[in-house]
A and B are shown apart, each in its own frame.
Chain A
């Protein structure tokens, strides 16, 4: 009888240990729509880039290409928020095909919310990785991203909630807002969202063989549902 209890306690302990380990190492990939307001030398007005434009450049295609709609921008976040990566996620092959930018620093703070998920606020400094081809590509740059996400109260993992529940009183003053489908097309319904963020930065890119520095004085990121 006593040994049965010990076996039960050991198995429970093991399960807890495995759960904790999972929470520590597990990462989730979230479809993330992007809208980037930009200035470049030689243009007298600002222009807007969508997340798909960055995806195209990262994959060596012309920025405006619509040839591969299943490749979309996504954000990878582990449950312990020790890292963050902006990636190109291929929804048809369910795989990551390129890493657009990696966070060199990620600071987070947590707010407990009664009867709801915790809210995690973060500030991430992303370094843009070289990707693409000689004609069209991303050469470098950085994005400083500030945002908020919902986090499971038990294991801390980021998770999506109904869009109706995803709001914060500081969204307007911080410049956090959803990205319209017209700017970054999304084949999936946008009824779930993990959080919102905004960013400032610079991207060095080559487009149709011409190299240019793209200032991003403001951008919006809509962190949506987890991908399979």
Chain B
């Protein structure tokens, strides 16, 4: 009798573990609303004296360029930047998510490398909604900008090197948000990880949960109002928020 119970328990456990593992590996990563504020520096065109302009670029700016719209366009507020990271951490993409149709409509950048260290639970946070405790994953990713847009406004290419930290569900491996008040790390000031203020890259929902923070350096080749330019990104911040904000 005891033996049967153990066999039953073992089989059930195996089934659950297998199902969870398969789900974690095969589950499509959920786009996580991601706000971005980059500080760009670019050569000012058409001047005799070489001059550098400081160009702030928000996630909304990148979305507009990728969709072929002018940098300051405000006519598609439902199209927002999001990050998709596979639960096994093999892939990461910056995408444009259309909240009105709940769908990814373009890929802005895709990873050429994604290195991470995991299970460093420096700030263990209980995430009851997930039924598990979070783990912390630290990563450095190299994202290649994909050409997109129109002849007048576009992203032509470039690369972003992103270093950050994110909470991860220990059960599925997928990235998972925690309450914002619990999302802090002792290394945030050292690594210049900080919050993107709400007004700098529009958001539709209150910032109550967050998956992690990251910072970035890189270079973007862009077309803005028919002018092609290279924008160096010496600094930038990325807030990886939560899927609930984009999947209503």
Chain B residues near A145 (CB-CB < 8 A): 217
Q: Is the CB of B234 within 8 A of A123?
A: yes
Residue of A nearest to B118 (CB): A41
| Interchain pairs with CB closer than 8 A, number | 113
Within 8 A of A (CB), among B130-153: 138-140, 142
Known pairs A40-B117, A110-B43, A144-B161; A215 contacts B139 (CB<8 A):
yes
Cα distance, A187 to B44, chains bound together (Å): 40
CB of B234 to closest CB in A, whole Å: 4
Which of B116, B138, B187, B217 is within 8 Å of A200, CB to CB? B217
Indicate if B50 sits at the interface (CB-CB under 8 A).
yes
Interface residues on A, range: 35 or more
Query: 1/0 per residue B212-230: CB within 8 Å of A?
Result: 0001111100000000001
Instruction: Select the residue from A37, A44, A107, A123 with max chain B CB neighbours within 10 A.
Output: A123
Q: Is the CB of B139 within 8 A of A200?
A: no
Known pairs A107-B219, A122-B232, A200-B140; A217 contacts B163 (CB<8 A):
yes
Q: Is the CB of A199 within 8 A of B217?
A: yes
CB of A31 to closest CB in B, whole Å: 22
- Is chain B's binding surface mostly helix, strand, loop or mixed? strand
CB of B228 to closest CB in A, whole Å: 13
Q: Is the CB of A174 within 8 A of B235?
A: yes
Indicate if B122 sits at the interface (CB-CB under 8 A).
yes
Cα distance, A147 to B161, chains bound together (Å): 15
Known pairs A109-B43, A123-B219, A202-B113; A37 contacts B190 (CB<8 A):
yes
Cα distance, A200 to B214, chains bound together (Å): 12
- Taking beta carbons and an 8 Å cutoff, which residues of B are in contact with A? 39, 41-43, 49-52, 54, 113, 115-118, 120, 122, 138-140, 142, 159, 161-164, 187, 190-192, 215-219, 230, 232-235
